Amino acid sequence: MKETPLSLCEKNFVIQAIKQNQRLDGRLNDEFRSLKINYGSDWGSVIVALGETKVLAQVSSELGEPKATRPNEGILHINVELGPMAAPHFEAGRNCELTVQINRTLERTFKDSRAIDLESLCVISEERVWMLRVDLNVLNHEGNLIDCCSVATLCALAHFRRPDVSVIEDEIRIHTSAEKEPLKMVMHHYPVCVSYVIFDAGRIAVADPTVAEERTSDTQMIFGINSFEELCCLNLGGSSLTSPTLLLQYSKKAAKHAKNVVNQVKKSLENDSEAREAGKKVGFAECLRQNTILSLGEERLVLKLRNFTFNGITEDDEPNKKIGGITEDDEPNKKIVQGKLYSNPHYKPDTKWIPEAASDNSISLESDTDGSENLQGTVKECLKLSDVQADFPISKQKHAIKQITNSDSEEEEKVIL
């Protein structure tokens, strides 16, 4: 199944919104989505959610022969799988261009930077070493897969425990977790990837892009940075090479964000280890009971449109302006009667305003209330008794109130302002 192409109207809408520092999900151009990490009951099993982008990572190990060029080092292999579960246009069991790009970027970030001590995986030199395999299964693709996969790889490797072994007369014995405590991975540093996409010929950079922003952008800029703010991997292309100022500016922002992500990863590892030591239930089943793993549970924000006119009133006007008789904050079942707002749409007030002559500064108010009521106090108190709310100037509230009876059938009250 081919990917549905974006129309010209969709592309222009995304570009114009980004130029105004607005995005479809309510974020700013330099704002990242929330990161959630949930560990499974097995060692090295984790689900990482970056917004609505979700990746499942699992680390496995086995004994094997080392490479001839590096006989004293173990082997690390990273595999990314993109199937129809991630997006309908991905085919199962077939590598696409995006899969190859993610695999190569993760290998440069973790293997070439020597984030893991591969020498600690050696059991017998030139004969047996541990071979680690990180399987990344994309559960949902909503943009910025490389960042989500890098965090999932880091969490899975830091969470993984390999079984202990003993060598007796060239015989290797693998101990179970009941016999000996599994061993943690030795990691020199914690690298993660931070991605930006470029718009407007290299003038604007957008952090943590969505699918629509990735497909609309000119190019992508990927930084592989560890917690020490050291650059481990850099992937550039297109118009990003023509703006060195933009590159240096966002490399500093990426370093700060990478440090925050690593701190969140370390905190999640500590919480998981404390829960296991306390004997609490851990794993994906417990996360489902606690509703910490949700399918497409990200809240969607409404984009505020500018220069939008409705019934002659623009959005830039005062927020309490009435549009079609109802304000923005009003409920749909409210009604406007003679400029006044009532919560009941069938409500009809029993008072009416009687206009006076232009030369007279008085306002006549006709009411069905009993004429024996004694109106005292300010103008607001008088209007409250007749269920009418009017906006009078404060300077005129100190005038007197005169009550005049003109007929036997009904009472008329004149408020002399």
Q: Is the dihedral of CA 401, 402, 403, 404 positive or negative?
A: negative
CB 294 within 8 Å of CB 287: no
Query: Helix, strand, or coil here: 93?
Result: coil
Assessment of whether the complete model's pTM goes beyond 0.75: no
Low-confidence ranges of the chain (pLDDT < 70): 1, 238-242, 294-417
DSSP letters along 270-323, please?
HHHHHHHHTT---SHHHHHHTT-S-TT-PPPPPPPPSS-EETTEETTS-TT--B
What pLDDT, in 10s, does the model give residues 177-213?
888 889 999 999 999 999 999 988 778 889 999 999 9
What per-residue confidence (pLDDT) applies to 240? 59
Tokens 């030139």, residue located: 126
What per-residue confidence (pLDDT) applies to 117? 92
What per-residue confidence (pLDDT) applies to 313? 55
What per-residue confidence (pLDDT) applies to 241? 66
Q: What angle do CA 290, 291, 295 make, to 5 degrees?
A: 155
Tokens 């024996």, residue located: 372
| CATH class of domain segment(s) 8-290 | alpha beta
Indicate the domain borders of the chain: 8-290
What pLDDT, in 10s, does the model give residues 250-283?
899 999 999 999 999 999 999 999 999 988 888 8
Tell me which DSSP letter residue 187 carries: B
What pLDDT, in 10s, does the model give residues 53-72?
999 999 999 999 999 899 99
